[in-house]
């Protein structure tokens, strides 16, 4: 579907590279199709992009309510909670 890139310093944007996925949530759109939303970090550990992908490639019908997104403990061994 798309992504939103976080920009800290426009002069340094050319040096930034994707580092790793930090967090991901899954929820179902109104039509029952699975949607994935991920926060990606750059090579310095700073927020790089918010990526949203509806698994059938169609547009999102509605934004999820917070109760639509289950909270689960991260299993990511690299979770250093460094995002901003």
Find the helix or strand (DSSP H, E) in which 46 lies.
none
Whole-angstrom distance, CA of residue 29 vs CA of residue 61: 7
Query: Over the stretch 16-57, which tens digit does the pLDDT of each residue have?
Result: 889 999 999 999 999 999 999 999 999 999 999 999 999 999
pLDDT of 79 strictly over 80: no
Q: Where are the domains of the chain?
A: 2-58
Whole-number pLDDT of residue 77: 55
pLDDT of 75 strictly over 50: yes
Here the tokens at position 46 are 């700073």
Closest CA to 33 of 56, 51, 52: 56
Q: Say if CB 64 and CB 35 are below 8 A apart.
A: yes
């Amino acid at each position: 579907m798309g992504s939103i890139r976080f920009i800290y310093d426009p002069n340094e944007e050319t040096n930034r590279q994707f580092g790793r996925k930090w967090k991901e949530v899954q929820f179902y759109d109104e039509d029952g199709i699975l949607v994935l939303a991920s926060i990606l970090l750059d090579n310095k550990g700073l927020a790089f992009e918010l990526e949203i992908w509806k698994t059938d490639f169609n547009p999102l019908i509605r934004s999820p309510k917070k109760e639509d997104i289950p909270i689960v403990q991260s299993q990511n061994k690299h979770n250093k909670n460094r995002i901003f």
